Structure formats: C-alpha cells, structure tokens
Structure 1
C-alpha cells in the first residue's frame, strides 16, 4: 500500500490485450523446488467447506472512472477526504482549507479500517464494556491515512514541482491530513452515516503527543533536542495497515516514514545513523517538509527518524487517551500487526516489512492473555520476544529470536543492547538468517482454520538465481500468498511454537498464460476452474469473513490491464483458492482495509489515491471520483457495502 505510479491504460482496452506477466523463474524446474509448498495445507483437515459460499455474481475485469459491485449490492459513500468530523455545516472547499480546518476533518489517502462496536450501555472511556459488544449497527470507524499527494490536493502543482516546492501552508495541511481518524458511524434508514460532533470523533496527526514504550524507550538513539528523554514524540506518519486487539485497542502501522525526512545521510556524523537512514530511503531530494518543520531534516535532528517506523497502539473508546509507540514490535516499514489471542496462552502478533527482500515477523508476549482482564492485557505488547521468519525447503519453517546477545546480535556486530536490535531490526533479522521475501504486506490469521496468511505483493528486484523456496520467482511482478500452518489443528494451533509448516496458497497472475513460467497458480485448482475475471495480481490487504473465506485487496492490477479491487475465495474445500471478483476501483486507485461488521452484513473498504496517474493533477485530474463535481478534486473515500436484501456480504 505504498505510493506508486501506474501507467494509464485506456478504459476501452479489452482484458485480452493486457501486458504479459514476467514470471521467468517458475516453470517446471521451480515447481520441483517448491513442491512441498503446493500441498493443500489447512484445507486438508476439513470437509467441503467453501463449496456453498460466495454465491455472488462475479464482476468482470474493467478499467474506467467508476467503482464496480456485483448485482444486488449497493455502497454508501461514507467518508471522503475533507468531510467534517465536528457538528458544523461548512462544506468542503479545498481552496479555503487550512491546517486547523484539516485537523477537524477526515484525512487523506484512507487505508486500514477497524470497526469497533459501541455498546448501548457504555460511555466514552468505558472500553472494557465496548470491547465486549458485537453491535453491528453503531460503532467507531478507525481509519489510517497513509500519505499525502499535494499535486492532487492543491492547485498549482505538478507531481515534480510538489516534491521540493510545497509551500509551508500546504505542508502544515499535509501534516494534519496524515495519521488516523476515529469517527462514530451508525446504520440509519438512509444507510451508514457519520455521527458529526460525536465525543468519540478524533484525529491523530503529526502533531499528536505520543509515548514511546518498550525495550528501546529512552535509548540515546531516540533522544533529540526537543525530547532528551527519548520517551515522547509528536505524531505518526506512513500509516498503512494495522490491527485490533481483544482488549479494545487499535494498532496502526508506520510504513513509508523515510519519505517524510530530507537531508543527505552522508552528512550525518554518526556512521551507524547514516547507514540506518540510507536503508529507509532518506535522501536530500525527498519532500521539503524539513524546510517547514526542522525535525524532519536529518542534518538538524539525526535521531528523529528513529522515533518513526514503529507500531502505534491507542484506545479509540477513550478520546483523551495518549497513543503509544510499541518498540518491542521492532522498527521497519510496518504494513501492520495482527493479534492471535487464546486464554491462558501468550498473545502472538504477526506482521510484515513492506519492502523488497525484507522479512516476516512474529511477536510473542512474555505473559499470558487473560480474557476480560483488560488492564493486565494492555501490558502484553510491551514485554515479549520478536522473531523473524525463516522459510526452508520442504515446507518447514523456524522463527528466529531477535534477542541481544544471542547468535550474531552482539557488540562485535555493532549491537550495544536490545534497543539497537529493535531499532536496526532489519539488520538483526538478516544476520540471524531470516528469509528475504517479496514485499510482505498484510499478515493475518484466519479465525476459522487458525492458519496464518502472508500477502507478498511483488518483487521486481529479485534476479534469476536469487529465488528461494518461499519466493520462487525472479522478478516477481504478480505476487503470491503463503499459508503458515502452526502445529496443532484448527482452533488449537500453537502459534507460540518456534517451528511451523508453510505452503504456497496461490501465485498471482493469469493461470492461462501461454508461457508456463508466467502462469498464476491458485492452490490445487485447475486453470479451467478460474474464471476469466477471477485471477488477479499483487495481493496487498486481506480480511476473513465469518465463514473463513479470504478477501484479498490488490495493489498493482493496472499493470495487467484492469482495475485493482477485491477478490473472495474459500480457504478450505473443493473451491479452496478459487477467487471470485467482487469489487473494482476507479482508474488510478487501489483498495485498502477491507473490514466486516461482526454480523458480516456490511463490508467497509477504503479507496485510496483515485486518479493517481501520469499528468493527473488537482487542476487537471484524470477524473473526479467519487463526487464527479467539476469544483472538487478526486477524493480518497471509504465505502460501506451491503447486500440489498440485507443478507451477509458474499454469501
């Protein structure tokens, strides 16, 4: 879910004329090395579950200026960039927007979504009661805002001119448009609507005060001139995916934070920090935020980037609560972290580092989860062990602990303490022998079969000869999905075990490609079982419905000639890994954050960066979705999708 540019393909171009994929490493030889990964995996333990699911009529591949849904479904346009959260009547007027106004309005480029139910008998601050609710008609929508695009937000910019030439006033607006929104919503006779002026409504931005907690808190590498303690920081940025906890808090990720900083790392005196900054793409030619806010200039505050790249936890039910950055979950380009909790056992959280040749991670708490004891449970993410995944031949894997003093994580290799291990998490994982992956994005556990699924979007930097069993394609342009199978059986798997099995759930791409090295593979399905519109590429986010069906959101299908969107499939039974196409985005957009209400009757989706294409600007956008108003630019938006007959989505 990182910023990207897509080539605009004419909406009249038929799907049969799409560009060929480039899976040069697959073929018969690769199939032999990945044979273990093609096992049915979790699907072998159950009966024919999945064969009667997902009865919606599939939509076709397309590429135009609209969003698309199956017959019998409708979408409420719930929230758009600039929509007010307060109870005031002023309409969104981009040319009158300032930083103060933006701080009271829905942010830009909506991404991860968490629906947090509201209990009828509880008030703000009573999260213990709210977290037990399954209310599907009233709740809090908690939404990330990943990054800003001034050339699509403000008049007068091209994409190039906005990189180093954004005005101070517009940077101030951008910093308030990033972060996170909390919005109370309710289902009315007119559909889903925000509750303006709700006491829960809140913006978390780059000026929100946060605590830094965990093993790295207070370390000298987190200390700055504004915060000599190394325990306080203002704001969060690059907020991609996230997670929810069973104790009623929300986790939000910091992914592409490096782009917010400017300065030449080679001008930083400390060689450790210079290497660190290079690794996260901090360059002299980055956005000019540092000219406006000096902490984003590494030549002024060389430690400030170390205060970003963490997971952030906050309580949406308490609008006065202070978010905290969880250093125990490591510092890298977090796509998100999702939690597995079982009473009397440690909590386990899975996450991915969204960059080429980076790693899959797991955190295991030191103490155990106690259902209903939220005060105790809220300490679980601050004390535990972080692991990096090693995926071996034969479909077996090991979790490698990232602990100071163990293996190569010693002073001889430049680590002073556990804080260094967590701050330089990528280097620690690489030294331990973790498996470099093809851009790990969402990593989530299916609540029905208790297996964990890793979305691997793509890796165009992997060269022939650089493949590994879990990433078998050189120049992987279509991505794939891995299935992690912890020891045990459905519902009773031991996610804290240091060993696991794994297999390839699917390989993205066209299953009918002429060249065997370019064919997608959807589990054990024959190519004829995948419809002309069922195949997809570049899996990004994932969600699971009540029946255990997998819903995959994509980022990159326009490279194959059709829109990004949402595909649903069974994870078990005869239709395991057989996708059906459910939702399509307008040109230039990707879909993010699929999230169901507890009753499964509403599906929320975030449509990010609509009209993001070459030469598309605020002054001359490719299109103006969703308003289609000549006075308004394209606006990232959240949709609430329901069946017209009130049934469960997808069934």
Structure 2
C-alpha cells in the first residue's frame, strides 16, 4: 500500500514534532459537534471527535469553524441511525447476589437464535464514588465514617486480620470488605430476546455470581498446574491459609476471552491492591499483614480475611452453562497482572494461549500445551491447560521476535534499565524473597553473574520449583530478559491466526517502563498514547518459538503522526478482520485542563473501528463516545452482527454524582490537518448521572446493547 505520513511513522520509525494539544482552564459556553466523513466503508457515519483527523476533506478555515466549540455529553453517543438500551446495572439482582461494580469484559455465547449466556467481569470498585452511591444503589449503609474515625490516628490503615474476632472495629471492616469483594468477580446470566428484539435477563438455575468471597459461602474456586503443588505444600516458608488448593474467590477481573469450546476466561489484573504480590523463593505468600486495610482508598480488602496472595493474579476459566462451576485458575498460564487472553486452537496441533501483563514494563506471554487439540470445540481442551510451558516474548527492533520458556533451566539475562530510558527494573530478591530495584545496567549484570538460571532463584523439587516460577512470573520474566512492554492490555487473534495487541501507554513509573527500542514515539521518545501491534507466528505454528511483528496503528494526535485516539485498551476482531478498539484514558487525565499532560485533549473514552487491510489499514474511525469519567469496556458482537454489547465502567469516577447541570468550560489549543493552530472552547459536564442522564440519580456501571435502528447489522 501507499504509505501516508502516519503509516510512515508507524512502520518506518521516522520522526516529526510533538503534539500541540495545550489546555487553558476557562469557564464559558460551547455548542454541539457535527459528524465527520470517512473514505473507508464503515457502514456508519463516524462521529466527530474533539479535533480534526487525517482524511478530513474540509479546508483549514472550515475545520476551525467546525471544531472551535465542542460539547461533551454525559451519555453514550452513537452514530446517526444507532441506539442503545441498558441490559443491567450495578445492584440489579443476579442469582442470590447482584450485578457487581465496574463491569469490564463481556462474553455472549449463543444457545440458539434467541437465547444465550452473558458472562461479565466486575473489575474493581471506584472508592470515592462507590462509597457515595452505595446506600442509594444497594439500599443499605456501610460503616465508612465509623471506621475512618477509628483509624484517623493510624493514617487510615490497620492490620485488621490480626484484630480479635470480638473487636467491633474488625466486624465493621469485614462488613465493608465483604461488600467491596462481593461487587467484584464474575457474573453469569441467561439472556433471552424479547418480542421487540431486545435482549433481556432471563431466569435460569445457572445464573450466578462468582465473587471475591465465594469461598466464604462454600463455593471455592479450583486450580490446575504446578502452582497447586505450592498451595498444598506442607511446609512453606511463607503464609499458610490452611485451604490447600481451594481458593476463596476472584477479584480484579478485567479483560478476558471466550474459548472456541464455549468457556469464558477472566483475567485477574490488579490483585496487588487487595493482597500482597510478593512471594518467597518457594512460591509461598508473604503474610497478609504486609498489605494492611486502608479505609481511604479501600485497599487491602483481603487483609481482614487473611487471604493468601499467591492465589490471585491468574486466568480464571468458567463454563457458563454449568451451574456448579465457580471457576478454575490455571497456574500454567502464570501469575501476574493478567489482561485478556487470545487463543490459537488448531486441530492436530498444540493449544496456544496468549496474555499480557498490564503494568508499565509488563511482558507478553504465550502458553503452549503439551498435548494436542483434537476438536477446537471440544470442552476437553480445558484439560490441555494442566500441562505445557509458559513463554515470554523478546521483541527485536527490526520486527522479529522470539519466545523464551519460563523454566528452571533458562539462563538469567535481566532486563537492562538503559533499554527503558533509565526506568528501574525489579528482580527477585534472594535469599529473602520479594523483589529489589535495579537502577543501573551494572547492577543487572552483577545479578546475572550471581545467578545463572531461574532454578537458582527458586526452591523445591522440580514441580515445586516450576510452580514457584509461574507464581512469580513477572519477576522471573524480568530476570531472563523478557521485553518490557507498554502495558499490553488486550489481545485477540483473527480468523487467520494473527495476534492483535493493544499497548495502552508507553510511559514509565516507579514500577518500570517499556523498552524504548520497541515502544517509542516518532522522535524516539516515550509515547504515552499507545499502539495496536500485529504479530504473526513463524509458519503460523502455535508452538513456534519465533515471530514477526509490526505496528498497525499508533495513538496520538494526527499532527504528531497518531491516528487520533489515545490509550487503546480492549480489542474485538470482527468477521472482516477489522479491529474494534476502546480507549482507556485514565480518569484523572480525561479533559484535563492544565495542559501538563496532553491526554486531556482527547475527550471522553471512546470506541473506534480500525481496518487492517487495504490503503485505509491503521486509520481509526470514531464509533462512540462514553459518559463522563467512564471507560467503555468489553465490546462483543453477536454472531449475526446485529447487537454490539458494551460495558460502561466507572461513570462519575472522579466527581461522583453530577449535581444539577454542573459544567465547566475549558480552552484547548489544537491543530487542523494542515498544522494551523486554533483555540477550542470545550464544555465539560462535572460528574455523571448515567445511565439516567439528565436526572439527579447516581452514576452506575452498566451493560448496554447497541443496535441499528433499522434492525440491520452493526457493520
């Protein structure tokens, strides 16, 4: 294809100047937007976003006129001819519990033309807004103020698990944490299509919640793989919960995937906010006391229940049709901050599962089964996850790469801080357990000289040592030189077996950063706005140890070579191999008025369609924008493409309930497609009332169905 300037930047790596989206705080009024045009046959007329995109045929003067005023809405905005309806929201009844908070990944498995199973992830609670709206949504109060008062002299923190059982403070903390963990996990519900064509909740004995405390109700989760040897080990160096291989629950459930054999995989992501992440060399947990309960951010929710941290951070598989299935954690897939799963399932070949670790400097992983697939739709494929090998990816700057196994024999060759622009690297601390920071290449090389293989870092017999490596997968991957990535948040394979990966953010933090030889901006600089990568295994072999990669699309403003979006997150591949992508701009960066970080200029989080073939490959077309302070998650198309399910997460996360019509007006300096600067006046609602916009009701995460008003296919 003919490379446009932006494509040239993505594929060749040439550099241009930085984005110019500077923000100036003001309080004025603005006017509505109007839709833009596109050359790609999207079947919908793309929305007009906050600034002009490549391909806008209008003159610079016309663009300035069209974009000089911009109004955000506290609603899900769709193209002309499309509408949505709410299926369920936080607090609605589900089984013997309720729909949880911050719905994320969605899976719909059809059972005939008019029924099916909807499986929903509930990721986390937004501390401030959850506290504000809980009494209204759930109908009862929790003792937030009493606990906050009691902990004021302790800076809001306490090791609640060590309090006497009769202590009233412990009972109050337990009540709060039970409610918070009940609002996380997984939900399964039957859907049935009504006479008017809308999907509605239906009664079924298999409707159920799998929450962060399911085991406290006798519904423990199971586990497979070498990690089980650690859970059942009689003499551990660390904490013992007395449950063997039984697991109390699941939380931090972010993205996921639906297997060809009809099960759903749920990714436990930021588990480290509720239980200790650190483990000892034998894979056992640090004591829960290492992460006290904190009333301010509602962190350390596992502390009061004395949960073992090494049992969280996995891929959880659930069969939605089986009412007795409360989830299985597959330890061969590794323990880290999982975000999503992709499948390569070919009859006669090993099963391959891909996943990413959503942290700055997290790695890309692949599991390859020991056994082979007989029938891609056979539920016996789940058994293949009990034995195999986990690999981490090494990317080369030229577009090639290879997989290295996380096993005892693999040589130590740590990630070097110099490749990360000086960001620190954390490595396993020995003999103590946990990790320590490496700030220089000299320290990393010294570590390599001290330890020769992964087997030197972990303890036990062969299976126990393998289990410990998997339980400490992120730090083991750091130790063997897995490429530090730019927050790999989601991935999916297309019909030809190519893997598409959303890298959300190329910035560093105190935990690490991405390899700037791979993840860099047009001038080689750290690039906050993210990428969509396409990866192909050598010979399309699921068990291949090498691959090729390229960037399909780059986030950022068009003037700087970006496609117009920022921070790509969940991806969906439709039947035409187009990528549907939703963005994940952090709540505190959405419409940010001070200009210090230009993410604010991108407006609310949104849904985009990106073709992968032809001259428009890599272009991005805006399909939807979300309510205030939300993230849109879990896009899922029904097989006939007539319904697009979406999860709207954490509306009003920063400012809570929108009171009256509270609005601020801000000013941003933007550019037209020919580089002419202009000032935009933007109207920004403060807080949210969605899914009841225009009312005084509290914001609630909810699941919606999008459809064409004429009943046709979405795309």
Whether TM-score is above 0.5 comes out as yes
Match of 1:386 among 390, 402, 407: 390
Give the drift of 1:414: 3.6
Match of 1:456 among 503, 508, 531: 503
The whole-number CA distance in structure 2 between the counterparts of 1:189 and 1:373 is 31
1:260 aligns with 2:274: yes
The whole-number CA distance in structure 1 between the counterparts of 2:503 and 2:377 is 35
Give the drift of 1:569: 1.6
Q: Deviations over 1:559-612 (max 9, x none)?
A: 333111100021011211111100110110011100010111111011100011
1:111 aligns with 2:121: no
**Tell me, what secondary structure is at the counterpart of 1:420?**
helix
The whole-number CA distance in structure 2 between the counterparts of 1:52 and 1:629 is 35
Match of 1:212 among 211, 219, 223: 223
Aligned match of 2:94:
85
**Tell me, what secondary structure is at the counterpart of 2:227?**
coil
Rate the CA distance shift 1:185–1:310 in 2: closer, same or farther, 3 A: same
**Runs of at least 5 residues in structure 1 that lack an aligned partner in the other structure:** 1-22, 34-49, 87-102, 120-134, 513-518, 523-534
**Tell me, what secondary structure is at the counterpart of 1:344?**
coil
Paired residues of 1:240 and 1:336 also in contact (CA < 8 A)? yes
**Tell me, what secondary structure is at the counterpart of 1:376?**
helix
Paired residues of 1:443 and 1:454 also in contact (CA < 8 A)? yes
The whole-number CA distance in structure 1 between the counterparts of 2:562 and 2:287 is 38
Rate the CA distance shift 1:399–1:291 in 2: closer, same or farther, 3 A: closer
Give the drift of 1:521: 3.8
Aligned match of 2:82:
73
**Tell me, what secondary structure is at the counterpart of 1:169?**
helix
Aligned match of 1:603:
644
Give the drift of 1:292: 8.2
Rate the CA distance shift 1:273–1:314 in 2: closer, same or farther, 3 A: closer
Aligned match of 1:404:
408
Aligned match of 1:153:
130
Give the drift of 1:229: 5.6
Which deviates further from its counterpart, 137-146 or 221-230?
221-230
Give the drift of 1:245: 1.3
Paired residues of 2:538 and 2:547 also in contact (CA < 8 A)? yes
Q: Please give the residue correspondences for 1:160-171 in structure 2 after superposition, counting only pairs within 5 Å.
A: 167-171=173-177
Aligned match of 2:369:
365
The whole-number CA distance in structure 2 between the counterparts of 1:373 and 1:70 is 36
Give the drift of 1:293: 5.6
Paired residues of 2:656 and 2:699 also in contact (CA < 8 A)? no
Paired residues of 2:508 and 2:514 also in contact (CA < 8 A)? no
Rate the CA distance shift 1:193–1:466 in 2: closer, same or farther, 3 A: closer
Paired residues of 1:261 and 1:282 also in contact (CA < 8 A)? yes
Give the drift of 1:411: 3.6
Aligned match of 1:641:
706
Paired residues of 2:256 and 2:267 also in contact (CA < 8 A)? yes
Which deviates further from its counterpart, 608-617 or 377-386?
608-617
Aligned match of 1:12:
none
Match of 1:427 among 475, 478, 483: 475
Paired residues of 1:84 and 1:196 also in contact (CA < 8 A)? no
Give the drift of 1:200: 2.5
Aligned match of 1:181:
187
The whole-number CA distance in structure 2 between the counterparts of 1:168 and 1:410 is 39
The whole-number CA distance in structure 2 between the counterparts of 1:199 and 1:542 is 31
**Tell me, what secondary structure is at the counterpart of 1:151?**
helix
Give the drift of 1:153: 2.6
Aligned match of 1:237:
251
Aligned match of 2:558:
511
Count residues with an aligned counterpart: 542
**Runs of at least 5 residues in structure 2 that lack an aligned partner in the other structure:** 1-5, 17-37, 50-70, 134-143, 150-155, 159-171, 215-219, 413-452, 592-598, 663-685
Rate the CA distance shift 1:629–1:292 in 2: closer, same or farther, 3 A: farther
Aligned match of 1:41:
none
Give the drift of 1:273: 7.7
Match of 2:487 among 427, 435, 439: 439
Match of 1:315 among 307, 315, 319: 319
Give the drift of 1:468: 3.1
Q: Please give the residue correspondences for 1:292-331 in structure 2 after superposition, counting only pairs within 5 Å.
A: 294-296=304-306, 304-331=308-335
Q: Please give the residue correspondences for 1:439-588 in structure 2 after superposition, counting only pairs within 5 Å.
A: 439-447=487-495, 449-461=496-508, 467-473=515-521, 474-488=525-539, 493-512=540-559, 519-522=560-563, 535-556=564-585, 558=591, 559-561=599-601, 562-588=603-629
Q: Structure 1-normalised TM-score?
A: 0.76
**Tell me, what secondary structure is at the counterpart of 1:66?**
coil
Paired residues of 1:152 and 1:617 also in contact (CA < 8 A)? no
Give the drift of 1:32: 8.1
Paired residues of 1:237 and 1:257 also in contact (CA < 8 A)? yes
Aligned match of 1:413:
457
Cα RMSD of the aligned pairs, angstroms, is 3.5
Paired residues of 2:629 and 2:688 also in contact (CA < 8 A)? no
The whole-number CA distance in structure 2 between the counterparts of 1:275 and 1:235 is 16
Rate the CA distance shift 1:353–1:425 in 2: closer, same or farther, 3 A: same
Give the drift of 1:244: 1.3
Give the drift of 1:394: 1.2
Q: Deviations over 1:343-367 (max 9, x none)?
A: 1111111110000011001111111
1:339 aligns with 2:339: no
Aligned match of 1:203:
209
The whole-number CA distance in structure 2 between the counterparts of 1:289 and 1:470 is 34
Rate the CA distance shift 1:288–1:469 in 2: closer, same or farther, 3 A: closer
Q: Which has the larger radius of gyration?
A: 2
Give the drift of 1:189: 2.9
Match of 2:242 among 228, 231, 239: 228
